Amino acid sequence: MLTSEEWVRQNLIRFLVDSEGFPESQFKIETGVKINGNQKRSDILIYKDGIPAVLIECKALKIKLDQSVLDQALNYNQKYNCNYILISNGTKHIFFFLKENKIIQLTNFPNYQSLKS
């Protein structure tokens, strides 16, 4: 079903593949993850060299990207340990790089080749 969140997810994937050179084969959609005993799902994982490198959390167009959205992505990332997190509501995208327990907001998202896995 094409919900607002699904629209964001599909358009973000198309953009990353078609415009930014991310290999479509490296995307994994709606991966199950258990958080505090509850079954959840991450929206998008992007792999590099067989390792999860980017975790993407998509929200509907009307949802504000705030600390709670980042916290949700960080909770999911406890399982995947990605170096990059992207949160998006389709009109706004916020990129983060995680290094040594620090969260660094990026002004631009790196291309696939420059991702650190």
- Give the number of domains in the chain: 1
Q: What is the pLDDT along the chain (117 residues), one digit of tens a residue?
A: 678 888 999 999 999 999 888 999 999 998 777 677 777 788 999 999 999 999 999 999 999 999 999 999 999 999 899 999 999 999 999 999 998 889 999 998 888 988 876
The pLDDT assigned to 117 comes to: 63
The DSSP line for the chain is ---HHHHHHHHHHHHHHHTT---GGGEEEEEEEEETTEEEEEEEEEEETTEEEEEEEE--TTS---HHHHHHHHHHHHHH--SEEEEE-SS-EEEEEEETTEEEEESSPPPGGG---
CATH code (residue 99) = 3.90.1570.30
Q: The whole model's pTM is what? A: 0.91
What is the domain extent for residue 30?
Answer: 4-114
